Structure 1
Amino acid sequence: MGKRGKFIVFEGIDGSGKTTQVDLLQQRLTAVCKKNKCYVTREPSDSPPGLIARGAIKGTILLSPKTLVWEFIADRTEHVEKVILPHLENGIHVICDRFYFSNFAYQAATVGFERLLDLNREIMEQIRPDMTFFIDTPSEECARRRALERADEELFDNNEDLESARKNYLRAFEELKDIEKSAIIIPRENAQRTFEIIWLKLVKEVFEESDLL
């Protein structure tokens, strides 16, 4: 079996610009890697529980907040076993838009931080990202962007929920700093400048020369 791919995760409250950074990293890896490929995925994924969770976020499926927590955990289990690990083991770099830190950000108010840690523990023991980037955009700016982008409000779209999620993210990164490799990124004047800071960190701390062949 060849060398395992790298697993890179992007986190941030809705409207933070994390998905733009996912796209920029995919473009860069596609351009520089001669043999190693990269694969982009997201959570909620396209698994059956992931589609249910996505429907709940959009308001097309009604679930209790506690039920939604279980859908996220079930989706992550499917996602890791059927998508993420198989790609990594085949030497493909995986870029993921959201992973278990999103649980801590958005569901801590429902079941508590420690409970979420317990629910994710098996997955965290099975796989940890080689790097998780948190794009720390102010919640007011995220709410403004969301209002411009979407006609229909989704779950967690208002500024109060976004700020609560941001604070939960920061708490989770602080509490797990000894076991998780992560970086809090303050957005610069444009997305490309922000990306170059992310890329420099990846080259220094995650990728070896052989990863970019």
Structure 2
Amino acid sequence: MLLGKLVVCVFLLVLGPHVCVGYVFQAAQPTEEKEEIPLNPKISKWESTAGSCKGRCFELVEVEPPGCRCDNLCKTYYSCCADFDKQCLKTAGGFECTAERCGESRNEDYACQCSEDCLEKGDCCTNYKALCKGESQWVDGDCEEIKAPECPAGFVRPPLFIISLDGFRASYIKKGKSVIPNIHKLSMNPLQS
């Protein structure tokens, strides 16, 4: 019995500070009201059978319960439609056209299309116009001067630019200490940096 108490005391002395740090970390979180994330899919407010993701993948319109969702957060909130994985998480065929894929027959299993009707359907690969139609890429064109920032038609939310300092560190260390990232340039015009 004495040996058991001694083991418990040593155990508490060794792990005691870590337990306290964990407790303080939990206690220090902000108490702002946040949307609750269900821990169990069985208690989700959404019903996976309340719709389909066909033609709705990654839509920006937020669906209220019990309707199902097809956006990036549906996995987190257990609110995905039953066919989300099949309809929205396709990777077959890759994400760009190749010379061989231009003019191919439509294949619904592909992530994007290089078929003649993809412009009508709105599911072309990103480089379809440049590679298959011979149009110049937007990146090669002249930049227009923006007088006042505004979102293009059809956009619900403004774009979000994320800068990773870890990415800077990894790529710039390989090139040597004389090269440093120009964060000021990125903050002034992130699209042309």
Q: What TM-score do the two structures reach when normalised by structure 1? A: 0.24
Structure (1 or 2) with the greater strand fraction: 1
**What's the TM-score once normalised by structure 2's chain length?**
0.25
User: Higher Cα Rg: structure 1 or 2?
Assistant: 2
Q: Which structure features the higher share of helix residues? A: 1
Q: Of the two structures, which has the highest relative contact order with CA contacts closer than 8 Å and spacing of 6 or more? A: 1
